[in-house]
C-alpha cells in the first residue's frame, strides 16, 4: 500500500489558544512553527 502526504496550515489569531495542544489532539507533528504578529501557525 502506498502512503500519501498532506500539507496544511493550522493557525489561529487568538493568542490564548494553545495551538500545540490542538496539534497533539488531532495527531499531527508540525514541521515548522511561525508567529506572524498575533497569528501562530503550524505548517
The set of residues, in sequence order, having a beta carbon less than 8 Å from that of 32 and lying 6+ positions away, is 42, 43
pLDDT for 1 equals: 57
Give pLDDT, residue 12: 75
pLDDT at 3: 78
Q: What is the pLDDT of residue 18?
A: 80
Q: Provide the phi-psi class of 35: left if phi over 0, else alpha when psi is between -120 and 50, else beta.
A: beta
pLDDT (tens digit per residue) in 1-43? 577 777 777 777 777 878 778 878 888 777 677 666 555 555 5
CB atoms within 10 A of CB 39: 13
Amino acid at each position: 500500500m502506498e502512503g500519501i502526504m498532506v500539507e496544511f496550515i493550522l493557525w489561529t489569531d487568538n493568542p490564548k489558544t494553545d495551538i500545540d495542544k490542538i496539534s497533539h489532539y488531532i495527531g499531527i507533528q508540525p514541521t515548522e512553527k511561525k508567529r506572524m504578529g498575533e497569528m501562530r501557525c503550524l505548517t
